[in-house]
Structure 1
Amino acid sequence: MNAPVVETHHPLRRLGSSFNIESFPLLPLFYQAPRQRHRWQEPQHLPHKQWGDIFFDLFYVAAAYNLGIVLQQDPTELLYFLGYFLPLQSLWMLQLLRDGRFLFATGTVWESALSTLRFLTVACAVLHIRPSPTDLFWFGVAIAMGLLWHGISCFEIMYCQRYCPENQMKRDEKEVEQEIMEEEEVDPKEEDKVDPSSSHHDRHPQRVVDLEPAAWDTAVTTLHIIGVPFGLVVAAVIYAGRQKFTNSRRRLESNEEEEDPVVMYLLLASSLWIILYHAVRQIMNDFIFQRDHKRSVVPINVEYAIHRYGEWIMLMLGETVLSLLIVDPVHHADYYITFFAGVLSIIMVEYLHFLSSPHDPDHHALRRNIYGAILHTTTMMFYSASLIVLGASYKMLLYELVYEHDDGYGESHPDRRSVLERVVFFQRTLAGASSPALDDTEYRQKRIAILFSGSMAIVWICLDILILAHHGWENLCAAWKESRSPVLVGMAQMGRWSLLIWFVSLPQYVTEPKLLSLLGVIGLLGQIVLQMIMYTLCPKNPVHKEEEEINRVLEYANARLRVIKSS
């Protein structure tokens, strides 16, 4: 079984994170073995655009919308929000790790069927983001099936690594390095013929690598990661099923459902296991077993992972804008001020996100070291959740103004509020009863203000943690000491922390929707200005500067060597 050749413009490239089969017959192949993206010694290149990845992410946009409704129906139910979001996000992260390390032949019947089952599983989970025993049961079933599909992929990799003929030969590291050097070497005469306008991928085609022995260890580790969560999710399904089937008659007679958080605790525990496993395992390998993770882990394509995280954040921000756009407007100045302040705030969050991210993939946390990658991955989960909460809180601020004002045509609608509450809120209220957060206007607005200020503060905290993951504590301290004005940089950082503390305390004295939205714009503007001042005064990261100097010397040496060879 020969390794397939990747064709740049083959139509199967548009189907997802995969490599192409060698031909596109009328009767597709049933199965073809997966491959690695690359080895540790090889240079990494960004793969071609995978439209199947974006299609997969669109299911999560719908999930973010439904999660916003969970908060809208009762701003106090953060447990249910996290219990739904973290398991779904864990499935997305496992898919990223799978596609970032291995290439699967999408054109085969086997992989197409497995991909379809993944889509159906996520769709089922998104559909049942509703806090009732029936929906919790089917949500848990969907999450368990999603973990099961990843387990099947792990067994597939283990089987192919051991029994596929092309994976039986263990290659020497020097042989691999020599092969890479020969592939990367460019003849000076041929280099002049390369069209500068040609794409990076045309000059550096994506390689397809047979499965190394580390693929077996990676698959086993992934099974360890999903094994305990699978058991916890199955326990949650059994518990929710007992509520669904054994108490159905009593619920029908009383017309209510009991609110039992045990299922949510089990789902949260399954997600926390996935989050903590990587960190605990790496600490044990470093300080107890003293193992090199490169010998037992297949490398992930860092540029692919960075690209996927960027798409994910953009979709979460897009859902936040969608939350603002779907609210029926009222023709009143307060509504439009709040609406445009919300849109402007989301734009500023997007700008602050890219301001906090490195522009060069070599300086990204995923490439800096393993602990930076773990910190980045964990932070991104809570950062994404805070963006969803922020969008839901903006939507609730707009609904408060819809309740308060007329439609602007001189006709007051006294029934408008009750209708909206029945349709939007009470339609999916917890336990089939009214929530205390909806009965009193002052109490409800206080809870909305807490959600708004808390989610905004968590966004700022997560962005600071991401900066720490990208650069490291030592490099940040070195940049501060070598800045043109360490005192001014310290004052700017103190100002950012003061803004954070002020925003956390905001609900104690501000609950009016319009004022909250305007203060959100002011807080974001202050964060951006202070961060730009710090970046202007601080020098470039010393480690990054040293790397650039080394690269310039190497480029000059290679150029001189080519001149000598040509002469």
Structure 2
Amino acid sequence: GSLFFDLFFVAMAYNLANIVRQDPSATSLLYFAGCFFPVSAIWTDKLAYDARFFTRDDVLHRVFEIIGLITLGAAVLNIRPVDILSTPSKNPEIFTFCLAILFANILTVVRYLEVFIWVEGEPAAKRSALRDMGFKILPISFYLAATIYSGLEFFQSKNDDAHRYLAEAASNSTYDCSDDAHRRWLAGEESSTVDPCACVDGDEGHRWLAASSDCEVDGYASGVSSSYGDYTSDSTDIPIILMIAGIGCALCLMFLWIFILPPGGNHKQYTVPMNVDFTIHRYGEWTMLMLGESILSLLIVEVSRSSDYYVAFYSGILSVVLLQYMHFRSQPHSADDHAMRKSKERGLAWSYLMQFYSAALVLLGTTYKMLLYEFVYGDYSDDGHRRSLFGHIPRWLAGADGALKYALADRRQREAHFFSGSMAVVFFCCDAMILTHRDFKTNLGRCRCSKTKKTKLLGIVILLMRVGTIAFVASVSQYVTDPKALSLIGLGAILFEIVLRFAAAVVFPSDQVHVDLEEKKCEMEAKEIAEQEEKERHDEYVSGEVIVDDHDGEGPDKE
């Protein structure tokens, strides 16, 4: 069941990638965050429940699971590009998305309500369920506000349009674009008697379907309002900001709760402990989902015959493979070594870092695809060639045409910013998660000699090189924008990170397996010494010589 549930989040990551590919800008990043975190919270909510509670496999619970999957599917389906989500007065997608997220959180409350009412034999479970229901009140309030706002925008706009159409019909007014003209545009017919640029409001889509007149390309390049183009005067970011505020409140409430819990393990009377082994396993599968989107982004793309295209393609594939190796090598596979087992504060920090790490993985995979598209349409930046590219849009599953509204240099600069920023966040979160498993003081101890207690210079050098790698990757977009160069630099940075990790493990072997072996070795040596002393005493006793402690200071006597 869990793997089937996870399939919806592969589609989530793919649709989120489309947001950035359509419009590599700060606005698209806002909408990416506003869609990613609320939807991924559905996954973490289910994980938190499954890791602590078990429900009967009956018809009622199966129907409940089906309703949850339908709700999740509705949310994922309506993750659309910015120009659609930002116009609730024209498009219902943002309303449907907010409504689906709202209903999914209500279903989570129903889950915990069942625990609160029917749980047997565990008072802490009732307290935990009541707490989790309380945590949902504030986020649900923001989601409800976003749903109401976007719904009012959409339905009021439709009512206004209906009244306007009725008034125009009553006054026998006609439209500039007749039904006959509509049919000609849908057929892709160029007609001198009809000006497709004269269409307003809902008629813009016909011009795009036609892909025939010069005005559509010029309008797209110059920012003319369209239903599938630019940020218009009807656009508003209020719904998505409310969604971000909702998930932000949820994270803040959990942070406050964790730090006000009683120390010394007394918090267990208010919480139900999670199955850490199960949680580690599920987060490993989640990471594979996010990396899987990167593979999809690289494989589902138009093919160019240029050699640079294949250099970037294979660099991207190899980079994703090395990223998954670096991730799973950096994370412990035993519950006893994990941050969630070490302390509640470390576990919370690790889970927060994991959310940003996952978002950065999706963005990184997206930017690799954006780099590949540069080889497909990078040389067709003039208006004359854009018309030929629009004919291929239906075959481009990602809808990469949206980025063409930017000039070539501007577009590549934006893509470079997304590439370097997402990779820097991936490196930073990966290193920060390591610190949650073993704190900074413990890791700093690796730089000291166990005998002399002096700091090893090589350890400091490796530490500075890891920090420098993150800084270099974060700044690479300031001086490199070429797609081929960026893909090779990204691959080189990942390889360098892995080499540094190998060097640190060889020079300063302090992973838990090594520590356990050292402790066992010391225990075995101590046991062997004790057995040897016992054997010597036994041999001396058998030979008639027993050593007796002399309390008078006269030395040992022999019997």
Per the normalisation by structure 2, the TM-score is 0.74
Mapped contact 2:302–2:396 kept (Cα < 8 A)? no
Distance in 2 of aligned mates of 1:338 and 1:519: 10
Q: Is the 8 A contact 1:125 1:139 kept in 2?
A: yes
Does the Cα contact within 8 Å between 2:259 and 2:345 map onto a contact in 1?
Answer: no
Q: Does 1:226 align with 2:136?
A: yes
Considering only aligned residues, what root-mean-square deviation do their CA atoms show, in Å? 2.9
Partner Cα separation in structure 2 for residue 515 and residue 218 of structure 1: 52
When structure 1 is superposed on structure 2, of 416-425 and 508-517 the one drifting more is 416-425
The 3-state SS of whatever aligns with 2:480 is coil
TM-superposed CA distance for 1:549, in Å, is 3.6
Residues 115-137 of structure 1 deviation map (CA, whole Å, 9 limit, x = unaligned): 10111111000000022421110
Alpha-carbon offset, residue 276 of structure 1: 2.1
Whether 1:254 aligns to 2:164 is no
Residue equivalent to 1:44: none
Instruction: From 100, 105, 119, give the equivalent of 1:142.
Output: 100
Unaligned runs of 5+ in 1: 1-51, 162-166, 168-210, 407-411, 558-567
Q: Which has the higher contact order (CA 8 A, sep 6+)?
A: 1
Residue of 60, 69, 72 corresponding to 2:21: 72
Distance of 1:359 and 1:527 partners within structure 2: 20
Per-residue deviation, 1:416: 4.4
Corresponding letter in the other structure for 1:104: T
Pick one of 152, 175, 192 that aligns with 1:242: 152
1:316 paired residue number? 290
> Whole-Å Cα distance in 2 between the matches of residues 297 and 526 of structure 1?
42
Measure, in 2, the Cα distance between the counterparts of 1:391 and 1:531.
23
1:359, CA displacement in angstroms? 3.5
What are the residue-to-residue correspondences of 1:527-542 with 2, within 5 Å?
A: 527-540=497-510
Which of 313, 316, 320 is the equivalent residue of 1:342?
316
Per-residue CA distance 1:49-83 (angstroms, 9 max, x = gap):
xxx11110110000000000000000111000000
What's 2:192 paired with?
none
Alignment partners' CA distance in 2, 1:305 and 1:223: 21
1:417 corresponds to: 389
Q: 1:281: Cα distance to partner? A: 1.0
Amino acid paired to 2:55:
F
Structure 1's 259 and 425: CA in aligned 2 closer, same or farther, altered over 3 A? farther
Q: For 2:469, which of 474, 499, 503 is the aligned residue?
A: 499
Give the AA of the match of 2:255.
Answer: A
* Structure 2 counterpart of 1:368, one-letter code: K
Give distance in 2, aligned partners of 1:508 and 1:491.
Answer: 26
Question: Quick one: which of 390, 411, 430 aligns to 1:463?
Answer: 430
CA contact (8 A) 1:65 1:319 kept: yes
Q: Distance in 2 between matches of 1:420 and 1:448?
A: 22
Q: Is the 8 A contact 2:16 2:32 kept in 1?
A: yes
Mapped to 2, the partners of 1:361 and 1:82 lie a distance apart of: 30
Contact 1:338 1:513 in 2 (8 A): yes
Report 1:3-152 matches (<5 A): 52-76=1-25, 77-106=28-57, 108-130=58-80, 131=85, 132-133=87-88, 134-152=92-110
Q: Distance in 1 between matches of 2:247 and 2:315?
A: 35
Contact in 2 for aligned 1:100/1:300 (Cα 8 Å): yes
User: Which segment is superposed worse, 129-138 or 416-425?
Assistant: 416-425
CA distance in 2, matches of 1:414, 1:444: 15
CA displacement at 1:485 relative to structure 2:
6.9
Q: Which shows bigger deviation, 510-519 or 499-508?
A: 499-508
Aligned to 2:442: 475
- Counterparts in 2 of 1:548 and 1:237: CA distance versus 1, 3 Å: farther
Q: Corresponding residue for 2:304?
A: 330
* One-letter code aligned to 2:422: S
**8 Å contact 2:350–2:433 — kept in the other structure?**
yes
The DSSP-based 3-state class of the residue aligned with 2:273 is coil
Whichever residue aligns with residue 264 of structure 1, its letter is I
- Alignment length (residue pairs): 444
The list of structure 1 runs, each at least 4 consecutive aligned residues, that deviate by more than 4 angstroms after superposition, is 249-253, 412-416, 420-429, 482-485, 541-544, 550-554
Cα–Cα, structure 1 residues 296 and 490, in superposed 2: closer, same or farther, change >3 Å? same
**Partners in 2 of 1:343 and 1:428 — Cα distance?**
20
Quick one: distance in 2 between partners of 1:64 and 1:493?
33
> C-alpha offsets along residues 164-204 of structure 1, whole Å, 9 cap, x if unaligned?
xxx3xxxxxxxxxxxxxxxxxxxxxxxxxxxxxxxxxxxxx
Q: 1:297 to 1:469 in 2, by over 3 A?
A: same
SS at match of 2:55: strand
Q: Which residue of 2 aligns with 1:363?
A: 337
Q: Distance in 2 between matches of 1:416 and 1:336?
A: 23
Tell me if 1:264 matches 2:240.
yes
SS at 1:352 equivalent: helix
Identity of aligned residues (%): 34
Deviations along 1:485-536, whole A, 9 cap, x unmatched? 7211111111111121111111111111111100101111111111211122
Contact kept? 1:449, 1:510, Cα under 8 Å = yes
Q: Which residue, 258, 276, 279 being the options, matches 1:282?
A: 258
Q: In structure 2, what is the equivalent of residue 10 of structure 1?
A: none
Equivalent residues in 2 for 1:177-256, closer than 5 Å: 211-248=121-158, 254-255=201-202
Shift of 1:415: 4.7
Distance in 2 (CA, whole Å) between partners of 1:267 and 1:377 is 20
1:293 to 267, 292, 299: 267
**Distance in 1, Cα, partners of 2:477 & 2:303:** 25
Preserved CA contact (<8 Å) 2:21 2:398: no
Q: Is 1:450–2:446 an aligned residue pair? A: no
| Residue identity opposite 1:352 in structure 2 | M
* Partner Cα separation in structure 1 for residue 372 and residue 398 of structure 2: 18
> Whole-Å Cα distance in 1 between the matches of residues 498 and 511 of structure 2?
20
Structure 2, unmatched stretches of 5+, are: 163-199, 203-226, 528-559
Alignment deviations for residues 88-128 of structure 1 (CA, whole Å, 9 cap, x no partner):
1111111000000011122x011101110111111000000
> Counterpart of 2:136 in 1: which secondary structure?
helix
Amino acid at match of 2:44: M
CA distance in 1, matches of 2:242, 2:514: 43
Which residue is equivalent to 2:377?
403
CA–CA separation in structure 2 for the residues paired with 1:291 and 1:261: 44
Query: Per the alignment, do residues 421 and 400 of structure 1 end up closer, same or farther by CA in structure 2, a change over 3 Å counting?
Result: farther
Alpha-carbon offset, residue 553 of structure 1: 6.4
**Which one of 495, 501, 512 corresponds to residue 482 of structure 2?**
512
In 2: Cα distance, 1:442 partner to 1:158 partner: 58
Q: State the match for 1:525 in structure 2.
A: 495
- Secondary structure of 1:259's aligned partner: coil
Give the drift of 1:456: 0.4
Distance 1:214 1:352 in 2: 38
CA offset at residue 445 of structure 1? Answer: 0.8
Kindly indicate whether the alpha-carbon contact (under 8 Å) linking 2:124 and 2:269 is maintained by their aligned counterparts in 1: yes
Distance 1:217 1:492 in 2: 47
- Measured after TM superposition, the shift of residue 544 of structure 1 is 8.1
Q: What are the superposed Cα offsets for residues 369-403 of structure 1, whole Å, 9 maximum, x if unpaired?
A: 11111011111111110011001101111111111
Measured after TM superposition, the shift of residue 539 of structure 1 is 3.4
Bigger mean CA deviation after superposition, 483-492 or 391-400: 483-492
CA distance in 2, matches of 1:447, 1:390: 13
